[in-house]
Structure 1
Amino acid sequence: MVNRLTFDDDLFLRSERVLGIPVTNQSVWRFDHALDTAELDELAHRLGTGRLGRRVVRGAVPGARARWVPSEAVPPVAVRPEPVEDVLTWADAEAEKRLDPVRGPGWRLACAPTEAGGSVLSLVVSHVVGDGGVHVNAVVEAVRGVGAGRPAPTPVRWWDDVRDAGGQLLRAGRGVLRAARAPKGAPLPPGTQTSRTRERAGDETPARPPCAVFDCDAEAWDVAAAARGGSANTLFIAVLTEILLASGRVSPDAPIKVSLPVSTRREDDDRSNATTGVSLAVTPAGGRVTDLAAIRADSKRAFASAAEESPTRLLEPLVQLLPDAVVARTAGNSPVPLCLCSNLGELPREFAAPTGSPATSVMMRSLTGGTSPALLRARGGGLTAWLTRTGGTLTLAVLALDPDHFPDARTLRDHAANTLATWSIPATPW
């Protein structure tokens, strides 16, 4: 069976190819000891011969979806001999390295010693090659020595592409008909604050959006959540919303739209991207977001709706058929989320210890290249954040997509630190 690109795979590929905006997923492990380079070389080999070892080949017939084929490129581990003073600056530089999901490789592994006497390890994967689920599974399988998810070298003839193009046309037609009859989903409360696009203006110089990362005490986080009738995830939503409130990006007088990614990955699922999303409205009170019980109830309802067929999802086969020029005009004007919370939960033991010894903390995040203050301003975004748990540590990574309310990393870091302090959560910035 030919492994074809899904709609989401194609979306990230076109973001890079058509819009010049590559999206990558990055994990960064911090260790209190040196790493063995031979063990890292073995890890890289296993990653390259597993589900990350794939590249894109475009269809030979118009309308046929591109397909995945095995990639023979296994990039060597990039070892920096000099100690790293600022781990986050080093991680940012690693995330900017060029990846190629078409020619391969679509991923990169790098390590460096730290001035504190430990080590830091980075894995960057093109979002075309895989979402967070693939990212985690690839490392776990590599540690276990399990070869899985690598595309089979299936021979493809021209009539295979003709058949796929015809099937895609049929799926697009059915999707349009079903979308016209599908329910539009539960609306958000009137006046809910959302992201909106606007005219592109200001500095067009390419610039990295500000990012702040904190290692938080997991027990204190859980205690603070339980005291307000919530969970670790609902407190995550509240913290990110309160950072937006503190910056003035949103008003305390109206509900705020929060977006939540949801994995649709099944057992033995070889898709590169298998994620959908739901949303809810969070209502502040007195400039705070402390009713975690309400957020928890709304989150459960939102997650329950994730399996419903929305008109947007039904139109995906049609969108995947659109030529690049049309995609450039439509996708280039779409807004980014105002508040997106991606809780990756407790990381598997093998993932937290990719070379056998557990990391002290692990940060995961997605980063977008090719951005400028003018582009971010036009897309109308706010904050995007990721939360991971490793033993007694919760690692919070926050990316700011609003150059006016979060002009630099220090501003973002200060707002985040102050917000965590109001919840009595001990936090150490990276």
Structure 2
Amino acid sequence: MGRLSVVDEIFLRTHRGLGTPVALQGLWRTADRVDPALLARVHDALRSGPLGRRVIRPRVAGARRSWRPNVRAHPIARADGVLSVANLLDWADSQGAELDPEYGPGWRLSTATLDDGGSIVSLACSHALADGRALALAVDDALGGARVQRPHPAVPDSDWSDAQRQWSIVLRGTASALRHGIPGRPAAETRDEEPCTIGGATTHSAILQCSAAEWDRAATTSGGTANSLFIHLVATMLWDSGFPNETIEASLPVDTRDEPSVDNDLAMTQIAIGRADPPARIRTLARSAYERRMSAPGGMPEELLQLLPDRWAYALSKGAGERDILCSNIGTLPASLRRLGAHRCTGVAARAIHPRLTATQLPRTRLSGYLCRTGDDYVLSLVSLDPARIESAAALGELALRTAASAGLRTRAW
């Protein structure tokens, strides 16, 4: 099935506690009760699809870890009783536990009936298995939409040949980098203050839904794009929460896949946003940033991280890609995701969550935003990682609604 990439292994280490734990999640809200038989069919399709795999360790030093098919899956998790819509996101935040991309199933399908007469369905998976776009593609595949490339039955090269390839890349790349001198140890991206140790949850969530026509109109009026308006809104929320710096550094994931594939096919770039920068200015900054990607420090080959013990690799890559905010534009979701069988979806969201995150693991990132478009709506998912300034999900929701209104957007909260 192929070998793990450098990015795959970074997220595999976070699963083991070396960094901020991350799981990807898709959420579907329907106006009526979802048929259990339908979910069972989707579950079976996911089990035999591209998410049905696990990590295998190599037998030769220097070879990369590989993927092996794994049809074992968690059973569908069904919430007891009827869930209040007011508690919907608290339930969703809890669905990332016990995902194991190496020794057990790395994904889980969950559902709950809601007190508004509808249902909520969650698909959560370890970030080692997929990025946000990949998760959408995996669901599209399971729902009978566009088929993604099927995994190969076995790793095409031996551990010996893969180790030889890795050592060759690293030795050549290191020799080239050292011609410019020995690179300094990269500084880990950290918070300006000590982690918050107050009781309660370390993260809080909010989801807003807005007419795509209205969002695009507001973006055009400000001289920006749907994407630059998105980044502007997330930055404004952070400042309005009390963030003191005059400049916010934003981390922007970039989808680098050439064809539909379920993996971590992404790169990272960044921009620095000033308090007075409108969406038009952010549009210019982002356009330039997308042409240059974050890379390993000192020109060292990134494959070096796959030759080192996990704790050493973590120390070298700690905080990679973390900035004050994360703005991940997942794009337009496949049309198949607008329905679950006969059930029309009233909203579809895609985001990351952080299972088992403790106060001592809080990253530099204070606020993460995830934007996707489905049908005639944009859905903005927000996750706060700053419990000292945003003390509750209600506070985050109020902040998000207020910021959107100030930009001329009429939004509705989930």
TM-score past 0.5 threshold: yes
- In structure 2, relative to structure 1, the CA distance for the partners of 1:333 and 1:302 (3 Å cut) is closer
- In structure 2, relative to structure 1, the CA distance for the partners of 1:179 and 1:117 (3 Å cut) is farther
Equivalent pair of 1:240/1:339 in contact (CA under 8 Å):
yes
In 2, Cα distance between equivalents of 1:341 and 1:145: 27
2:281 to 294, 311, 321: 294
Write the mapping of 1:194-209 to structure 2, written as runs, cut at 5 A. 196-197=190-191, 200=194, 202-203=196-197, 207-209=201-203
How far is the alpha carbon of 1:344 from its aligned partner?
1.5
Task: Quote the residue 2:355 is aligned against.
Answer: 369
Task: Quote the residue 1:226 is aligned against.
Answer: 220
How far is the alpha carbon of 1:8 from its aligned partner?
0.7
- In structure 2, relative to structure 1, the CA distance for the partners of 1:366 and 1:3 (3 Å cut) is same
Amino acid at match of 1:34: R
TM-score by length of 2: 0.89
The secondary structure found in structure 1 opposite 2:290 is helix
In 1, Cα distance between equivalents of 2:242 and 2:21: 29
Task: Quote the residue 1:70 is aligned against.
Answer: 69
- In structure 2, relative to structure 1, the CA distance for the partners of 1:68 and 1:180 (3 Å cut) is same
2:291 to 304, 307, 325: 304
In 2, Cα distance between equivalents of 1:152 and 1:423: 48
The secondary structure found in structure 2 opposite 1:123 is strand
Equivalent pair of 1:4/1:67 in contact (CA under 8 Å):
yes
In the alignment, structure 1 residue 246 sits paired with structure 2 residue 244: no
The secondary structure found in structure 1 opposite 2:68 is strand
Is there any run of 5+ residues in structure 2 with no aligned partner, and where? 181-187
Task: Quote the residue 1:185 is aligned against.
Answer: none
How far is the alpha carbon of 1:335 from its aligned partner?
7.9
Task: Quote the residue 1:345 is aligned against.
Answer: 331
Amino acid at match of 2:270: S
- In structure 2, relative to structure 1, the CA distance for the partners of 1:429 and 1:28 (3 Å cut) is same
Equivalent pair of 2:21/2:357 in contact (CA under 8 Å):
no
Write the mapping of 1:304-323 to structure 2, written as runs, cut at 5 A. 304-306=291-293, 311=297, 315-323=301-309
Amino acid at match of 1:241: A
In 2, Cα distance between equivalents of 1:50 and 1:248: 44
- In structure 2, relative to structure 1, the CA distance for the partners of 1:176 and 1:243 (3 Å cut) is same
- In structure 2, relative to structure 1, the CA distance for the partners of 1:178 and 1:402 (3 Å cut) is farther
The aligned length equals 405
How far is the alpha carbon of 1:126 from its aligned partner?
0.8
Residue deviations 1:189-226 (CA, integer Å, cap 9, x gap): xxxxx963457555287844111211223222222111
The secondary structure found in structure 2 opposite 1:304 is coil
TM-score by length of 1: 0.86
Task: Quote the residue 2:247 is aligned against.
Answer: 255
Residue deviations 1:294-341 (CA, integer Å, cap 9, x gap): 2212221112234x9765785210011111231344455668320111
Task: Quote the residue 2:107 is aligned against.
Answer: 107
In 1, Cα distance between equivalents of 2:260 and 2:413: 37
The secondary structure found in structure 1 opposite 2:329 is strand
RMSD of aligned residue pairs (Cα, Å): 2.7
Equivalent pair of 1:139/1:354 in contact (CA under 8 Å):
no
The secondary structure found in structure 1 opposite 2:344 is coil
In 2, Cα distance between equivalents of 1:174 and 1:210: 45
In 2, Cα distance between equivalents of 1:280 and 1:333: 16
1:418 to 390, 402, 405: 402
In the alignment, structure 1 residue 174 sits paired with structure 2 residue 172: yes
Equivalent pair of 1:140/1:350 in contact (CA under 8 Å):
yes
Amino acid at match of 2:152: A
- In structure 2, relative to structure 1, the CA distance for the partners of 1:329 and 1:298 (3 Å cut) is closer
In 2, Cα distance between equivalents of 1:150 and 1:100: 22
Equivalent pair of 2:55/2:101 in contact (CA under 8 Å):
yes
In 2, Cα distance between equivalents of 1:30 and 1:155: 38
In 2, Cα distance between equivalents of 1:142 and 1:333: 34
- In structure 2, relative to structure 1, the CA distance for the partners of 1:312 and 1:383 (3 Å cut) is farther
- In structure 2, relative to structure 1, the CA distance for the partners of 1:334 and 1:265 (3 Å cut) is closer
Equivalent pair of 1:350/1:356 in contact (CA under 8 Å):
no
How far is the alpha carbon of 1:408 from its aligned partner?
2.4
In the alignment, structure 1 residue 235 sits paired with structure 2 residue 219: no
Task: Quote the residue 1:273 is aligned against.
Answer: 264
- In structure 2, relative to structure 1, the CA distance for the partners of 1:223 and 1:312 (3 Å cut) is farther
Task: Quote the residue 1:163 is aligned against.
Answer: 161
Is there any run of 5+ residues in structure 1 with no aligned partner, and where? 183-193
- Please list every run of at least 4 consecutive aligned residues from structure 1 whose deviation after the TM superposition is greater than 6 angstroms: none
In the alignment, structure 1 residue 212 sits paired with structure 2 residue 210: no
Equivalent pair of 1:383/1:401 in contact (CA under 8 Å):
yes
Aligned sequence identity (%): 34
Amino acid at match of 2:361: L
Quick check: 351-360 or 63-72, which moved more?
Answer: 351-360
Equivalent pair of 2:58/2:64 in contact (CA under 8 Å):
yes
Quick check: 29-38 or 15-24, which moved more?
Answer: 15-24
- In structure 2, relative to structure 1, the CA distance for the partners of 1:195 and 1:116 (3 Å cut) is same
How far is the alpha carbon of 1:373 from its aligned partner?
2.6
In the alignment, structure 1 residue 6 sits paired with structure 2 residue 5: yes
Task: Quote the residue 2:310 is aligned against.
Answer: 324
